[in-house]
Amino acid sequence: MNRHLVPAVSALAVIVTFSAAAAAQEMKPDRAIKYRQGILQAMGWNMGVLGAMVKGEIPYDKDKAVRSATFIGELAQMPFDGFVPGSETGAPTKAKPDIWKERAKFDKLAQAMQAETLKLVAAAKTGDVAQLRTAAGATGKACSNCHDDFRNK
C-alpha cells in the first residue's frame, strides 16, 4: 500500500503547486488588492508590537519579540504576489500606478525590505533590545523607502 501512496501524494503535490501558480496568474484585481493589503496590515501589526517594545511603551518580552519578528520575516515574502498586472485598480488601494511602470525599482526595494526582515529576526533572537531597536529601525526605513515612492498617502 505504501508504495502506491508515495506516487499519489507526489502527484497531488505537483497538481497543487501548478494550480496555485495558475491561480496567482489569474487572480482578479480586487482579490489581489485585498490579499496584499491583509499581509501588509499583519506586518504593520507586528512591527507595532516590536516598536512598542523598543520604545519602552510595553515591557520587553524576548519570546513575543521573536514571534513578531518571525511573522514579519515570513509575511515579507508574500505581499508582492498580489501586485499583479491590472491590480492598480479594482478595489480601494493606495498603490501608485508607478509600481507597474517601474517594476524593477519596486522589486529592488521589496528585496531590500525582505533582507532587513531577516536581520530583524536574527536581532530578536539575541534578546538584546539595542540590537532589536537598530534592526527594527532599519526594517521600518526599508518599508518607508517603498512607501515613499509607491504608496499614496
Look at residue 20 and tell me if it is in a domain. Answer: no
Q: Is residue 22 part of a domain?
A: no
Ramachandran sector of residue 85 (left: φ over 0; alpha: ψ -120 to 50; beta: rest): beta
Tens-place pLDDT, residues 114-148: 999 999 999 999 999 999 999 999 999 999 999 99
Whole-angstrom Cα distance, residue 84 to residue 45?
24
What integer pLDDT is reported at residue 148 of this predicted model? 96
Flag whether 14 is in a domain: no
Taking 70 as the pLDDT cut, the residues of the chain under it are 1-25
pLDDT for the residue numbered 112:
98
Do the domain assignments include residue 62?
Answer: yes
Domain that holds residue 124: 29-150
Say what the pLDDT of residue 27 is.
86
Domain count, the chain: 1
The answer to whether position 85 is within a domain reads: yes
Asked, for residue 112, whether it belongs to a domain, the answer is: yes
Cα–Cα distance between 51 and 147 in angstroms, integer? Answer: 18
Residue 1 lies in a domain: no
Say if 13 falls within a structural domain: no
Residue 104, C-alpha cell as written in the block? 524593477
CATH code at 36?
1.20.120.10
